[in-house]
Amino acid sequence: MLGDEDRRMRLLALTGLTPGDLRERLGDPALLCAVLDFLCAHEPDLVAAAGALGVEPEDLAAARERLAA
């Protein structure tokens, strides 16, 4: 996801996160949930991220639900 310039810039702009935030909080469930929220809010991003990770989009959406619980 971060390898795509447009997607990266949109993530940072919409979430208010900085590249430093992403590096420092990589294992933080709240950050992971925010990133998954971002992906789930825009299907093309969700599908692209799932493809890059070799998983189904539904798997990412399910991971978001588990983190939010």
Give me the pLDDT at residue 15, please: 84
Give me the pLDDT at residue 36, please: 92
Contact call for residues 42 and 18 (beta carbons, < 8 A): no
Which stretches of the chain drop beneath a pLDDT of 50?
A: none
**Euclidean distance between CA atoms 20 and 16, whole angstroms:** 11
- What average pLDDT does the structure give for the chain? 90
- List all residues 6 or more positions away from 50 whose beta carbon is below 8 Å from its beta carbon: 56, 57, 59, 60
**Euclidean distance between CA atoms 27 and 3, whole angstroms:** 19
| Domain extent for 12 | 5-68
Tell me the whole-structure pTM to 2 decimals.
0.82
Give me the pLDDT at residue 5, please: 87
**Euclidean distance between CA atoms 69 and 56, whole angstroms:** 21
Residue 22's identity, in one-letter code, is L
For the chain, what is the domain count?
1
Give me the pLDDT at residue 3, please: 78
Give me the pLDDT at residue 4, please: 83
